[in-house]
Structure 1
Amino acid sequence: MTYLVRSIALLTFIIVSANAKPLVIVNLTEKASAQQNQSNSTTTNIDGKLTEPLWQKATKVDNFSLPWRKHIPQATVFKSFIDDKDFYFAFQVNDNEIVIQENISDEIDVASQDRVEIFISKHHDLSVYYCIEIDAKGRVLDYKAKIYRQFDQSWQLDQLNIASTINENGYTIEGKFPLSELAKIGLGENQFYIGLFRADYSSSTVVGSSIIKKSDIQWISWINPNIAQPDFHIPEVFHPAVLSK
C-alpha cells in the first residue's frame, strides 16, 4: 500500500470513526449489588463458566467476521460490563480444533496458538495502545505498543484475573481487572477505542511453537478494515467505546 493510499484510508477511518456509534460497556453496579445481597456471595465468580445472571445483561458483540476470507468464521461472542470497581469481559469461542501448547516457556508463546485479543487506546491514531492476548488455557500475553508495531513487552496489566474452560464446542475466557488500571493509562472517563480479535489456528499451522503455514491462520475481527492483508495493529480495526455511567 502506497503512502498516499494509506493516508487516504486513515483519513477515511478518522471521518467514519468520528461519526460511529460507540460501543457502550453497560454499568451493572446496581444489579450487581442486588445480586450480591440476594446470594450473600461475590458478584461474579471468575471461573470461565459465565453462569451468573449478570452476563445475560452484559454488552454483547457477536458480529465477528473473516475480512480476509470469503467464508463465515466459527462463532465468536464478546461480552463486557462494569460495576463500581471492575471491568469484566468474556469471550465465548466455537472452535472444532483447538490448537494449544500444553506448556509454554514464555508469554510470547501465546502468540503461536489459538487465542482471543482485546486492544484498547485513548487515541484513534494509536500513538499508544495496550494489548491483551489470551489463549484457550487462559494464559496471557500483554504489552504496550505504538504505531506501527513498536511493541513494549515490559508493560503488564496489573491485577488481571483470568479463567478459562474448554468444552466440546470450543472454549470460554472470562476475566476482570480494576477500573483503576484503566485510569492509570488515561482511559475510562471519556471515549476510547477498542479492537476485538481472534486468531484461529489449525493443526497444519504450527509444530510446537513454530508457525509453519501462516497462510492457514484465520484472522477474525469485529471490524472489517477493508485492507488487503491481515493486520490488527492499525487504526482501521478499532471502534469507539465508552463506559456507561
Structure 2
Amino acid sequence: MILKTYRVNSIKGNTLRLTGKGLDKAWEQAEVLTDFISPWDKKGVDKIEFRALYNTEHLFFCFKVFDAEIYVDSTDDTHLSINNSDRVELFFRADENLNPYYCLEIDPTPRIMDFIAKPNKDFDFYWNWPSEDINVKSNKEENFFTVEGAISLASLKRFNLVKDGKIETGIYRAKYHKQADGNYEPTWITWVNPQTEEPNFHTPSSFGILQFM
C-alpha cells in the first residue's frame, strides 16, 4: 500500500520563532496541506491548513483551522475536558503494527493530551512526551485558531520514529458541534481516509508519511 506523503522542507540551520500565530517568515517555505476530509460525514468540512518544516534540531508544525464557532470545554485541565474540545492531533508510529504509537492532541488554548498507545485503543495516559522535547503555542481569532509546535528530532529518534528521513504520521482534527439538547458531538476529520465504517484514527490505515526533503 502506497501511503500519502507530505514533503517537509528544510530550513537548514535556521530556527523558527513560535508565537502561536504562525507568522514567522520561515513558514513561507512550507508546503500547505489542505487535503482534509470527514469520510463519515456527508457535510463538507471547513478549511484546515497544515504546515511542517525541520532544521537540525526540531520538527516544526503549524495548524490553521478555520472555524467561526470554536468550542473549548473549560471544566478543568484534565484529559476529559481536552477530549471534549475542538482540537488538532498528530499520531506518530514506528511501523504499521502500532506497537506502540505516540499521540499528541492539542486544543486551541493550547492544552496537550499526550499519550502512548498500543493496538485496539490500549491507551496509557500516564505517559507524557518529555516536556523539554516539545513546545506548543496557540492563538484564537474570530474565525480561526492556530496551533504551532516544535518537537525535538532527538525525541523522535529516541522513540524510533525517524526512518530513512521519514516519519509515519496521522494528521487529524476533531470539531465539536452543539446539538439541540445542548450537548456537543464531534465531527472527525483526517488527512488520510482510513476506509473504516465508523470513525477511527487508531488504525494503521489512517497514517501517511512526513518526508524530510
1:45-84 correspondence to structure 2 within 5 Å: 45-84=17-56
Counterpart code for 2:174? A
**Match in the other structure for 1:107:** 79
**Match in the other structure for 2:149:** 175
Q: Greater helix percent: which structure?
A: 1
**Match in the other structure for 2:186:** 217
Contact 1:108/1:141 (8 A) holds in 2: no
**Match in the other structure for 2:176:** 201
| Cα 1:206–1:80 shift into 2, 3 Å | farther
1:126 and 1:189 map into 2 onto residues whose CA distance is: 15
Residues 128-155 of structure 1 show CA distances to partners (whole Å, capped at 9, x for unaligned) of: 1000000011110000001110001122
1:29-178 correspondence to structure 2 within 5 Å: 29-30=12-13, 32=14, 43-158=15-130, 159=132, 160-178=134-152
1:46 and 1:104 map into 2 onto residues whose CA distance is: 25
1:205: Cα distance to partner? 8.6
Q: Which ranges in structure 1 are unaligned for 5 or more consecutive residues?
A: 1-15, 33-42
| Cα 1:103–1:47 shift into 2, 3 Å | farther
1:62 and 1:105 map into 2 onto residues whose CA distance is: 30
Counterpart code for 1:45? R
**Match in the other structure for 1:26:** 9
| Cα 1:241–1:177 shift into 2, 3 Å | closer
Please, what is the CA RMSD of the aligned residues?
A: 1.9
1:105: Cα distance to partner? 3.7
Larger Rg: 1
Aligned length: 210
**Match in the other structure for 1:234:** 203
| Cα 1:29–1:218 shift into 2, 3 Å | same
TM-score, normalised by the number of residues in structure 2:
0.91
| Cα 1:205–1:176 shift into 2, 3 Å | farther
1:233: Cα distance to partner? 0.4
Residues 199-238 of structure 1 show CA distances to partners (whole Å, capped at 9, x for unaligned) of: 000233997xxxx45xx41111101122211011001111
Counterpart code for 1:204? Q
| Cα 1:195–1:56 shift into 2, 3 Å | same
1:21: Cα distance to partner? 5.4
Q: Greater strand percent: which structure?
A: 2
1:98 and 1:130 map into 2 onto residues whose CA distance is: 26
**Identical aligned residues as a percent:** 29
1:108: Cα distance to partner? 3.8
| Cα 1:75–1:117 shift into 2, 3 Å | same
Contact 2:94/2:161 (8 A) holds in 1: yes
| Cα 1:170–1:144 shift into 2, 3 Å | same
1:206 and 1:84 map into 2 onto residues whose CA distance is: 50
Counterpart code for 1:153? F
